[in-house]
Structure 1
């Protein structure tokens, strides 16, 4: 009986160790996912040439503050999103989807696009991020791609655009072309590095893009 009891106790001890290890693994995973980094894959070309289809990147989820797990509540503020940041956020028209764009307009800014040129508060933006593939400038009134606004960005919200300006569905187009903004609470994090990259068809590795810092 003594030997059997020792065996049962040893078995319970092993089971307990496995359970504790599993619990800690889950806790660590939650901490990393909530406050650390998360991996994303680029499925479309709206951020070309900065991001290509098949790029895999890491997003810092604590760039702008540490949130309570499963909550939008920031418990430790760190910094504010800045113009030019590449951010992943909940798509305003369908919050089940994640989008990635570049912040162009900050809270309180007046954003306007005139003949493909972006203006912030009436001044031409030094827009070295934007790339244009269509030489045609579409007239104002009939579309919002090349002529948009002016609109004022509401408090705690951001105006975002894709770097591939002629082929990006962004703040210019959301909600029927009336313009749309990204609430700060819906920003999941700031993209900071490409850790892997496949060609569009997945047949080759873009070695020159691996380790590229995003800015």
Structure 2
């Protein structure tokens, strides 16, 4: 049971109690309080006329009880507005994710807390993830969160390299899109603190996006298809890499840490229906506050 489903169930359950309270229980409490007040006023008319404090306090207590929900309603209907707000925000606008691995270094590091724009690629029905309104499509260079095709219960994050119909070649750590080499410029080195190793850092330009990638000179070139590959016939595995034609309504994605990323080179393509949204900002990193900010 994933969090989206749990949140949906909580929204429905608390919403039902909220509706029950608004249209049935609250009016009943109000009517009962009015009846009690009329009887109280009739029995204590003289004391109220004299302004006796204890009698006025007792009358105010009746008014307060009329406005109060029972405790069981406070923990159901009372939480509905908050849960509903979170549900709408998380389902249609922005959703937080935590980066669990180094496959997107140096763009994203382990421990980065990111926000994903949920409406960039269209509005979807929560839980079912079915698109109900087209807004836009992924572009080359976008950093996207998606449901991992072999196991949709797991969220992955990678960079879009190939669009539907593109011919992608990744051989000897060189990327080509539709026969055109992707511009790559040396950018020094990057030290991986977790693996305690120095990696080659380069600047890559995909479409309108310029970003940094990492490669390991000690890791040999090559790729292979896992048994769970989505479209094995769409790729040809050759010495040093592969050549793929991206199927309709699917995307070819790579991690920026090219030699430490399980991506489209191994399990295939991301179906459009698996898209969650576009990642665009690191909103928190407890150990490295300087990481906070927008990224390419």
TM range (shorter): 0.7 to 0.9
What is aligned with 1:23? 80
What is the CA distance between 1:9 and its match in structure 2? Answer: 7.8
CA distance in 1, matches of 2:238, 2:78: 53
> What does residue range 125-164 of structure 1 map to in structure 2 within 5 Å?
125-127=182-184, 128=204, 129-135=212-218, 137-138=220-221, 147-164=240-257
CA shift for structure 1 position 96: 1.3
Partner secondary structure for residue 15 of structure 1: coil
Of 117, 131, 143, which residue of structure 2 is paired with 1:60? 117
The offset of 1:133, in angstroms, is 1.8
Instruction: Name stretches of at least 5 consecutive residues in structure 2 with no aligned partner.
Output: 1-34, 41-58, 185-203, 205-211, 227-236
Q: Report the counterpart of residue 171 of structure 2 in structure 1.
A: 114
Q: Name the structure where helix makes up a greater proportion of residues.
A: 2
Aligned to 1:85: 142
1:56-108 CA-partner distances (Å, limit 9, x unpaired) = 11111111111123333322221110111111111112111111110001011
8 A contact 1:112–1:147 mirrored in 2: no
User: More relative contact order in 1 or in 2 (CA 8 Å, sep 6+)?
Assistant: 1
TM-score by length of 1: 0.82
TM-score, length-normalised on structure 2? 0.61
Unaligned runs of 5+ in 1: 175-179, 199-204
Deviates more, 1:13-22 or 1:120-129: 13-22
- Post-superposition Cα deviations, 1:140-163, rounded to whole Å, max 9, x if no partner, equal 889969833311111111011000
Q: Secondary structure at the match of 1:134?
A: coil
How far 1:139 moved relative to its partner?
6.0
